[in-house]
Amino acid sequence: MSEDQFMREAIKLAEAGMQSGHGGPFGCVIIRDGQIVGRGHNRVTSTNDPTAHAEVTAIRDACANLETFQLTDCELYTSCEPCPMCLAAIYWARIPTVYYGNTRQDAAAIGFDDDFIYQQVPLAPEKRAIKMSPLLREAALATFKTWSNKSDKVKY
């Protein structure tokens, strides 16, 4: 399949998910060695899961299918430029290449405006709209110390 065909598949998933009432008009496929290894579409409203965006569901599907938590040899095709959460998930999955159809401005024009989140992320925690307060850092650091000394940990 070609890049255009992979993007058309992501768009097809967006349309199918939206028409079936699963969520918003977003779809995604993950490719490895020219084959689709993960598929996803937005399932936010049907699963009551605000993290069930197309990219996240496709990453989960690909990771399950490939039995790995890193997709370093994959490409991601999504019907819309990833939101900040999905972009972070893409970074965590180590996907090196992303192709997208619609822009975040296109999404904002139909009511999916992520610009507020993009503005909040670089702010210091105390300047964000969501109240963030440090609490019990010393107790939490104990777990980090245990992790640091753990000999059988799987690094990621």
Q: Are 88 and 55 in contact (CB under 8 A)?
A: no
- Copy the structure tokens of residue 30: 């993950």
Per-residue tokens: 137: 């850092």
Write out the H or E segment, with its range, that includes residue 124. none
- Active site residue: 9, 15, 55, 75, which one? 55
Question: Is residue 67 flagged as an active site residue?
Answer: no
| Residues facing 35 on adjacent strands | 32
| Angle of the 3-19 helix axis to the 54-66 helix axis, nearest 10 | 120
For residues 62 and 40, what is the distance between their CA atoms, to the nearest angstrom? 9
Q: How far apart are CA 14 and CA 79, in angstroms?
A: 7
Residues with active-site annotation: 55
